[in-house]
């Protein structure tokens, strides 16, 4: 299928790419086949696909694995496939918003989730944070992202691309690039290049194992606070977020972590953020319970 047939098919079915849903449909067979080849799937796998669209990726997935559960937010797309009966028998369509769906019931007994997605760019950041939140349920995710977003996840300390998603994902998974995809592969054509990446959560990557145990909730809060206002020093950023109310004790904890209070978030490595989390855990534990700052959920935080 190419651009014109895709456009005509959508028109015949009374469908159109939803800008709100960030829909860009793959139009060439070679790209989804290549994604499936690179995903490293096994014949007995159950795979969750996010954003079924017209089924360009769904069909080669279904040919490679035992079952595909396709999560699709567009009711028109669901209706189209139900009427046409054009998807393989081992595909289960689910009308659901992946940002709201409960992942736990989708996990097979004794296994973890395997996700493959041509992800709508409009939900890429919240989707990635959902993966991080649900890391214990995840095996791996093979995801198509806007190139700049994907590069951010693999950025190094000191670069402008390095941010909260980089650090939080590195603390639970390993990210590597699989395939560059140009705008001509989609209808409508996006104005940006795309990159397919693989995010491995299990078995736990060595770098993650080497971090040891630490307070994940506090770690997440510290990372978000540190990157919340990138121009602020680490001390001022954490103080503004009230990670620790006593600024002097906060400065002491930062120094105890081997970091300067005047450093900025983008200069700290994953390991330094973990060490800082341990030192702040000690400092918080030394305070009376009524002085502990309120906890904050991912939903309440600004995702930098």
Domain at 177, CATH number: 3.40.50.150
- The answer to whether 182 is annotated as binding is no
- The answer to whether 24 is annotated as binding is yes
Residues 175 and 222 occupy one common structural domain: no
Residue 52 near residue 75 (C-beta atoms within 8 A): no
Residue where one domain finishes, among candidates 207, 231, 266? 207
pLDDT at residue 300 greater than cutoff 50: no
pLDDT at residue 18 greater than cutoff 70: no
Residues 224 and 202 occupy one common structural domain: no
pLDDT at residue 20 greater than cutoff 60: no
Q: pLDDT digit string (tens) for 120-138?
A: 888 999 999 999 999 999 9
pLDDT at residue 296 greater than cutoff 50: no
Residue where one domain finishes, among candidates 181, 207, 233? 207
Which of 92, 96, 98 lies closest to 134, judged by CA?
Answer: 98
Residues 116 and 203 occupy one common structural domain: yes
Domain membership of residue 36 as a residue range: 3-207
Give the mean pLDDT of 100-110.
Answer: 95
Confidence of residue 302 (pLDDT cuts 50, 70, 90): very low
Residues 65 and 147 occupy one common structural domain: yes
Domain at 229, CATH number: 1.10.8.100
Give the mean pLDDT of 151-166.
Answer: 97
pLDDT at res. 142: 98
- Measured CA to CA, the distance from residue 250 to residue 279 in angstroms comes to 9
Q: pLDDT digit string (tens) for 203-262?
A: 999 999 999 999 999 999 999 999 998 899 999 999 999 999 999 999 999 999 999 999
Residues 150 and 91 occupy one common structural domain: yes
Give the mean pLDDT of 33-43.
Answer: 97
- The answer to whether 215 is annotated as binding is no
- Tokens standing for 279? 């030192």
Residues 110 and 257 occupy one common structural domain: no
Residue 196 near residue 177 (C-beta atoms within 8 A): yes
Q: pLDDT digit string (tens) for 44-64?
A: 999 999 999 889 999 999 999
- Measured CA to CA, the distance from residue 273 to residue 47 in angstroms comes to 33
pLDDT at res. 6: 53
Residues 244 and 225 occupy one common structural domain: yes
Max intra-chain CA distance, the chain: 67
Confidence of residue 22 (pLDDT cuts 50, 70, 90): low
pLDDT at residue 168 greater than cutoff 90: yes
Give the mean pLDDT of 150-159.
Answer: 97
Q: What's the structural domain count of the chain?
A: 2
Confidence of residue 28 (pLDDT cuts 50, 70, 90): confident
Percent of the chain with pLDDT over 70: 87
Residues 147 and 130 occupy one common structural domain: yes
Residues 128 and 89 occupy one common structural domain: yes
Percent of the chain with pLDDT over 90: 77
Average pLDDT over all residues of the chain: 89
3-state secondary structure of 67: strand
pTM of the full predicted structure? 0.88
- The answer to whether 118 is annotated as binding is yes
Residues 82 and 99 occupy one common structural domain: yes
Give the mean pLDDT of 294-299.
Answer: 46
- Measured CA to CA, the distance from residue 8 to residue 6 in angstroms comes to 5
- The answer to whether 26 is annotated as binding is yes
Residues 8 and 67 occupy one common structural domain: yes
- The answer to whether 110 is annotated as binding is no
- Measured CA to CA, the distance from residue 79 to residue 280 in angstroms comes to 52
The most confident of the ranges 1-10, 90-99, 292-301 is 90-99
Residues 170 and 268 occupy one common structural domain: no
pLDDT at res. 9: 59
Residue where one domain finishes, among candidates 187, 207, 227? 207
- Tokens standing for 122? 């409009």
């Amino acid at each position: 299928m190419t651009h014109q047939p895709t456009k005509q098919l959508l028109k015949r079915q009374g469908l159109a790419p939803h800008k709100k849903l960030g829909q860009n449909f793959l139009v060439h067979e070679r790209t989804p086949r290549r994604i499936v080849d690179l995903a490293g799937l096994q014949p007995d796998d159950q795979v969750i696909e996010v954003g079924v669209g017209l089924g360009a990726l769904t069909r080669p997935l279904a040919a490679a694995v035992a079952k595909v559960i396709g999560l699709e937010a567009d009711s028109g797309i669901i209706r189209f496939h139900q009427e046409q009966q054009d998807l393989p028998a081992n595909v289960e369509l689910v009308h659901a918003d992946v940002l709201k769906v409960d992942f736990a019931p989708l996990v097979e007994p004794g296994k973890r989730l395997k996700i493959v997605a041509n992800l709508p760019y409009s939900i890429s950041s919240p989707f990635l944070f959902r993966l991080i939140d649900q890391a214990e349920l995840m095996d791996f995710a093979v995801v198509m992202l806007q190139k700049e977003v994907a590069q951010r996840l693999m950025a190094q300390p000191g670069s402008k691309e390095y941010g909260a998603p980089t650090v939080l994902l590195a603390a639970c998974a390993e990210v590597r690039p699989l395939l560059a995809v140009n705008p001509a592969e989609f209808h409508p054509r996006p104005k940006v290049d795309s990159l397919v990446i693989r995010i491995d959560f299990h078995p736990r990557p060595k770098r993650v194992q080497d971090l040891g145990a630490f307070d994940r909730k506090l770690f997440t809060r510290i990372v978000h606070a540190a990157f919340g206002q990138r121009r602020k020093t680490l001390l001022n950023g954490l103080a503004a977020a009230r990670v620790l109310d006593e600024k002097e004790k906060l400065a002491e904890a930062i120094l105890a972590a081997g970091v300067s209070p005047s450093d900025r978030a983008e200069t700290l490595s994953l390991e330094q953020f973990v060490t800082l989390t341990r030192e702040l855990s000690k400092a918080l534990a030394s305070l009376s319970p009524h002085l502990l700052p309120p906890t904050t959920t991912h939903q309440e935080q600004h995702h930098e």
